[in-house]
Amino acid sequence: MSTDWKSILSPVEFAILRESATERPGTGRYLHNEAAGAYHCAGCGQKLYGAQHKFHSGCGWPSFFQEVEEGALTTHRDISHGMVRVEMRCSGCDGHLGHIFQDAPQTPTGTRHCVNGYALLFVPEGEDVQEVLARHRQDATRP
């Protein structure tokens, strides 16, 4: 059974997660979020990052220095746009998230996971991911 992604994702979420688009820098959600909780895939709800792994890189997208646990992401060589990069995808639904760069010496891992904010769903500490995901999907005003 395949998922009808267009029926559960907003147009911008669909473009990013299913068509590997990228939001313009500084325009996505969660760039300045500093609340306690976790970041999940906006497609399938899989937990990807803990708030404690987020940092301000100044790149215009939410940045993290490591995923919540090994296996939460898959990585692939991306040679699009005349560059060689490491693309990351959600291991749960294969949704495009962004790219990983080795340019963050200020972090414990030296890496910067540059993530499209619209590929993420923030779940505040103490809240249930399925309830937050259901509310998010019912919200007709989301971009």
The active-site residue out of 41, 44, 59, 114 is 114
The three-state DSSP-derived secondary structure of 38-85 is: EEEECCCCCEEEEHHHEECCCCCCCEECCCCCCCCEEEEEECHHHCCE
**Would you call 114 a catalytic residue per the annotation?**
yes
Q: Minimal CA–CA distance to 94: which of 113, 111, 77, 76? A: 76
CB neighbour burial string for 60-95, b if at least 16 within 10 angstroms, e if fewer: ebbbbbbbbeeebbeeeeeeeeeeebebbbbbbbeb
Enzyme catalytic residues: 114
